[in-house]
């Protein structure tokens, strides 16, 4: 849990609105509760993604509570791409490691 909060905070430095939300939620003493609730999956996503509208929703954003598909969600953070700055989203989309070199195994699609 602590690692997840630290990852969210590191991304928040690049996104002022997200940084403000984190500070306000922490001030209220609710950040850990919000993340734990998301981990417990008390909110069941159903229907189409509320961002792209193309794929089935499988996740719920911890900040805005949108029901989103895996393409519109950053599971390592628990946030949808609407809650992360466009610059961060674009940077992450461009970072496609060569898994064959990283894992030293042949990649099969």
User: Which pLDDT score is estimated for 108?
Assistant: 58
pLDDT tens across 5-44, in order? 776 767 666 667 777 877 888 888 887 777 777 666 545 6
User: Which pLDDT score is estimated for 56?
Assistant: 93
- Sorted by sequence, the CB contacts under 8 Å of residue 12 that are 6+ apart come out as 18, 19, 21, 22
pLDDT tens across 46-94, in order? 799 999 999 999 888 888 989 999 889 988 788 898 988 777 767 766 6
73: helix, strand or coil: strand
**Whole-structure pTM over 0.85, yes or no?**
no
- Sorted by sequence, the CB contacts under 8 Å of residue 88 that are 6+ apart come out as 11, 14, 15
CB-based contact 89:18 (threshold 8 Å): no
């Amino acid at each position: 849990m602590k690692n997840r909060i630290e990852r969210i905070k590191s991304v928040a430095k690049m996104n002022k609105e997200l940084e403000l939300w984190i500070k306000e939620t922490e001030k209220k003493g609710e950040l850990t509760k919000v993340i734990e609730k998301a981990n417990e999956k008390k909110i069941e996503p159903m229907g189409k993604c509320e961002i792209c509208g193309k794929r089935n929703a499988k996740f719920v954003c911890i900040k805005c509570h949108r029901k989103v598909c895996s393409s519109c969600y950053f599971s390592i953070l628990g946030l949808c791409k609407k809650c992360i700055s466009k610059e961060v989203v674009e940077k992450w989309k461009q970072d496609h490691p060569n898994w064959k070199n990283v894992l030293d195994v042949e990649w099969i699609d």
